[in-house]
Amino acid sequence: MVTACILIIGNEILSGRTTDANLSFLSRELNELGVQVTEARVIPDVAATIVNTLNEVRVNFDYVITTGGIGPTHDDITAECIAEAFGVDLVVNLEIEAMMHSRPAPDDVMRSRLRMARIPEGATLVRNEIGPPGFQLENVFVLAGVPGAMQAMVKDFPGKIVGGKPVRSMTLGAFLAESPIAEGLAEIQAANPEVELGSYPIFRPDQSGINLVMSSTDPDAMQAVAEEVRQLIAKHGQQAVENGIE
Amino acid sequence: MVTACILIIGNEILSGRTTDANLSFLSRELNELGVQVTEARVIPDVAATIVNTLNEVRVNFDYVITTGGIGPTHDDITAECIAEAFGVDLVVNLEIEAMMHSRPAPDDVMRSRLRMARIPEGATLVRNEIGPPGFQLENVFVLAGVPGAMQAMVKDFPGKIVGGKPVRSMTLGAFLAESPIAEGLAEIQAANPEVELGSYPIFRPDQSGINLVMSSTDPDAMQAVAEEVRQLIAKHGQQAVENGIE
């Protein structure tokens, strides 16, 4: 399994002011490249925390993707923290610098804008069709936090990020509580370790139910488990709802 | 500062199938109790990962709140992992057991339901008006992952969780790019370390802008910084938008 850790950098997520929308997007896109996100961390805009966390996770996961903190203001400190974590200098990238100079601006505005041209020595660019790029240093990819910019940078992942087989998953719903079929599910899971079988209850004023999610890199094994789950649901007098209960 | 780490336990969040909705709720509720969430981690339903992560964070933060994995199915392993992390037994709680027995059910269904009655030895209950409770062991609070159940358990926090002053924050918007006012913002931040000043760009097809967020446990200091920010925005020919740009 090829693994990734997502580092979401930003006080606005930790305070609850902003709800993160990047993790689910990144997880699904990385999965298409055969990379499984096996951990995510949300950390504050604090240099020591960013440096220490990055140095911990970059040796424990195949890839690390960071989001946030690469704009032109004082609270954008990700690039300098990545440089510090790797023990390299922060240098001006000539390509980004030229991009910044292509739109004239007063000196002070240009100085701030050029903060975004600084990347760690040895880093390469992660392209962004709609604005300043992110960058890659070894197995660490540094992306914007604004969802539109982050998503534009992810388009540059193919070729840079190389994984194994993607996980495929399917969902079956049932208008049952979890407990009646819990033992049956446990038996199916025990007999099929190559398929992950997750059970997610849904509580509704009208009618509660469950969604059962089968995930595997082996589509045939996934389908075989789904058939066993359909039969388990039928044994309890219900018909499985294909694609799950909304 | 009294700190908390949120542990979001669940493959469904890491795979991107489900977008977490609990972190922002918990951050805001804990802040009202004077506790700042300074880190959050999303980890998979893997016993060793849960045990090791819990043992790392419970000594580094004043409080740890976990969500997910306390239902009746095979993939609900949080309670046994917490017991293992603390080196205590998983025992049947008589109060939860009685609650489970109050609704008759066939033997196999009751066996599964009673999985939810097992809590680590020494843990106390975190009440839930609408279903089975969570539990507390030392500085660790173990909550449901389903948002409705999690939110019901948070109502039992006052008295169990004791913090300092809550952080108050306010937002001013401006139809400006970040770079023109970046140096001015950096000066204001440098002169006012007791107020956190965050800058968040907004990109829109019609009109882009920024939201500037002032946060502090000192409301007067926050208001003073806001006034400086209003003047900075005015100096650039714009009027600050109170409460920010949507």
pLDDT digits (tens, 9 = 90+) for B19-63: 999 999 999 999 999 999 999 999 999 999 999 999 999 999 999
Mean of the pLDDT values across residues B198-217? 92
Q: Is A148 on the interface with B (CB under 8 A)?
A: yes
> Is the distance from CB of B181 to CB of B197 less than 8 angstroms?
no
Cα–Cα distance for residue pair B153/B126, rounded to 1 Å = 6
Q: What is the pLDDT of residue A204?
A: 82
CA distances from B76 to A74, A176, B116, B220 (A): 43, 17, 9, 47
Taking CB atoms and an 8 Å limit, are B182 and A112 in contact across chains? yes
Q: Which residues of B touch A111 (CB under 8 A)?
A: 183
- Per-residue pLDDT band for B159 (boundaries 50, 70, 90) equals very high
Counting residues of chain B whose pLDDT is more than 70, the rounded percentage is 100
Domain boundaries, chain B: 2-154, 168-242
Q: What is the pLDDT of residue A208?
A: 84
Taking CB atoms and an 8 Å limit, are B189 and A74 in contact across chains? yes
B25, B42, B185 member nearest A40 (Cβ): B42
Per-residue pLDDT of chain A (246 residues; tens, 9 = 90+): 999 999 999 999 999 999 999 999 999 999 999 999 999 999 999 999 999 999 999 999 999 999 999 999 999 999 999 999 999 999 999 999 999 999 999 999 999 999 999 999 999 999 999 889 999 999 999 999 999 999 999 999 999 999 999 999 999 999 999 999 999 999 999 999 999 999 999 988 888 899 999 999 999 999 999 999 999 999 999 999 999 998
Taking CB atoms and an 8 Å limit, are A215 and B15 in contact across chains? yes
User: Where does chain A show beta strands of DSSP type E?
Assistant: 2-9, 35-43, 63-67, 90-92, 118-120, 124-126, 134-137, 140-143, 168-174, 196-202, 209-216, 241-242
Output the pTM of the full model.
0.96
Q: What is the pLDDT of residue B208?
A: 84
Mean of the pLDDT values across residues B148-159? 97
Q: Which residues of B touch A110 (CB under 8 A)?
A: 179
A contact test, residue of B96, B178, B225, B236 with most A CBs within 10 A: B178
Taking CB atoms and an 8 Å limit, are A27 and B21 in contact across chains? no
What is the dotted CATH code of the domain comprising B2-154? 3.40.980.10
Cα–Cα distance for residue pair B183/A79, rounded to 1 Å = 18
- Per-residue pLDDT band for B238 (boundaries 50, 70, 90) equals very high
Cα–Cα distance for residue pair B5/B58, rounded to 1 Å = 8
Q: Is B40 on the interface with A (CB under 8 A)?
A: yes
Q: Is CATH 3.30.70.260 what the domain over A168-242 is classified as, yes or no? A: yes
Q: Is B42 on the interface with A (CB under 8 A)?
A: yes
3-class SS at B169? strand
Taking CB atoms and an 8 Å limit, are B199 and A108 in contact across chains? no
Q: Which residue of B has its CA nearest to A105?
A: B180
Taking CB atoms and an 8 Å limit, are B37 and A27 in contact across chains? no
A105, A106, A179 member nearest B113 (Cβ): A179
Q: Is A13 on the interface with B (CB under 8 A)?
A: yes
What number of C-beta contacts closer than 8 Å exist between A and B? Answer: 189
Q: Which residues of B touch A41 (CB under 8 A)?
A: 39-42
Q: Is A228 on the interface with B (CB under 8 A)?
A: no
Which residues make beta-bridge pairs with A64? A5, A140
Using a 10 angstrom Cβ sphere, with 0-12 exposed, 13-18 middle and 19 or more buried, the burial of residue A238 is middle
> Is the distance from CB of A20 to CB of A13 less than 8 angstroms?
yes
Taking CB atoms and an 8 Å limit, are B44 and A39 in contact across chains? yes
Q: Which residues of A touch B179 (CB under 8 A)?
A: 72, 105, 109-110, 112-113
Q: Which residues of B touch A208 (CB under 8 A)?
A: none
pLDDT at residue B206 tops 90: no
Interface of B with A in 83-112 (CB under 8 A): 105-106, 108-112
B contact test, residue of A23, A70, A179, A197 with most B CBs within 10 A: A179
pLDDT at residue B135 tops 90: yes
Counting residues of chain B whose pLDDT is more than 90, the rounded percentage is 96
> Is the distance from CB of B133 to CB of B118 less than 8 angstroms?
no
Q: Which residue of B has its CA nearest to A246?
A: B18
Average pLDDT, rounded, for chain B: 96
| B60 CB neighbour count, 10 Å cutoff | 11
